[in-house]
Amino acid sequence: MNTRVSNPITIEVTTANESYPICIGRGFESLLSEHIVRLQKEGSKVAVVTDESVRRSLESYFDGPFADVPVHVVPRGETSKSVAQYEKTLDFFAANGLDRGGVAIAAGGGVVGDLTGFAAASWLRGIRFIQVPTTLLSMVDSSVGGKTGINIGAGKNLVGAFHQPIAVYADLDVLKKLPPREFAAGMAEVMKYGMLGDRDLFEMLEETPLLSWEDERLVSVVQRNCQTKADVVNADEKELSRSGGRALLNLGHTFGHAIENVAGYGEYLHGEAIAVGFVAAAKLSQDIGYLSGEDVARVANVVEAHGLPVRLRSPLKIERLFEAMRKDKKVRSGNLRFVVMRSIGEAATQDDVGLEIVERIWRELGGVD
């Protein structure tokens, strides 16, 4: 077991009904072991859900804190956010006797976190769970805030629940095993926070791209992103604000989720799809009159500098993209809802967007009839 533990940076997420810490640092195996032992001494049964890739690569966790805990392994990738894997996860909870005092641990990226969180939310009408994110994307975004869910044929994340974890352990040491493509996809969520509310962060990434887990800026960047998201969640946990609020975290996602749906889940990593969505949102913001052409170019340049796509890799039919957008969970009263940038570093929700504008943007990004 790795015994080198940094003093964790702790951010507190406080919602209407609960509060929990996000621990950010390096070398958290011992810290997590202590938490699991405490839970077991209290009589809680603990079980871990992970994926094939994480199970193979994180020996220090599975030989350490998870050594004596039952482990359920799902296939790697977005297709595990499915009804079939959700059912298998519930069967795993049942087989291992998790009662209402039980605790599920999600050890993986956003897919594992969303799947485990939703299973925990619905098992026995809700048991506790812990997030151990193993990708940059899940550390800065999906592990924080309590959104859980699975995909169905009609769209991404259409089935789910708000269910807050009891703790998040963001151990940056696990990122050394992360493939460069997945690190880049995580940077999409990092730059999102710069575009929607942290201009200084955007300009830092613009000046010097953050391309490696070894970059000394990473701890402070993860902290900065988690604090921003915690502040937003604290103010609008269930995305009920009529304008702004938690919905701003969906910058680029209305476009990005449509790309994932039409291309087929797994063709694009989530961060790659929303990276194209950022360029689309910037173009939409220009058409509405907020951004300049120079601003749009700056967004595209930052996306590209981090190894992410700025347009569709291969043509997708616009009609199918619109169909997917209309089924998106952010549709309100039948109308598409977009997040736009009033300026780089300031975002707003926008409901009254002409479909002809959206169609033109899809064409500019590689959509076809």
- Which residues form the catalytic set? 125, 147, 189, 229, 239, 246, 250, 253, 257, 270
Cβ atoms of 277 and 310 closer than 8 Å: no
| CA count, 13 A, side-chain hemisphere, 299 | 33
191 with 302: CB under 8 angstroms?
yes
CA atoms within 13 A on the CB side of 105: 22
Give 346's strand partners.
343
* Tokens (6 digits) for 49: 């859900």
Burial degree of 29 (CB within 10 A; 0-12, 13-18, 19+): buried
Instruction: Provide the token pair at 260.
Output: 């994932």
> What does the radius of gyration of the chain's CA atoms come to, in whole angstroms?
20
CA count, 13 A, side-chain hemisphere, 307: 14
Contacts by 212-215, CB closer than 8 A, 24 or more apart: 212/183, 213/136, 213/172, 213/175, 213/176, 213/178, 213/183, 214/176
What are the Cα distances from residue 69, in Å, to 40, 233, 254? 10, 31, 39
- Specify the residue for token string 């009839």: 369
Contact 66, 49 (CB under 8 A): no
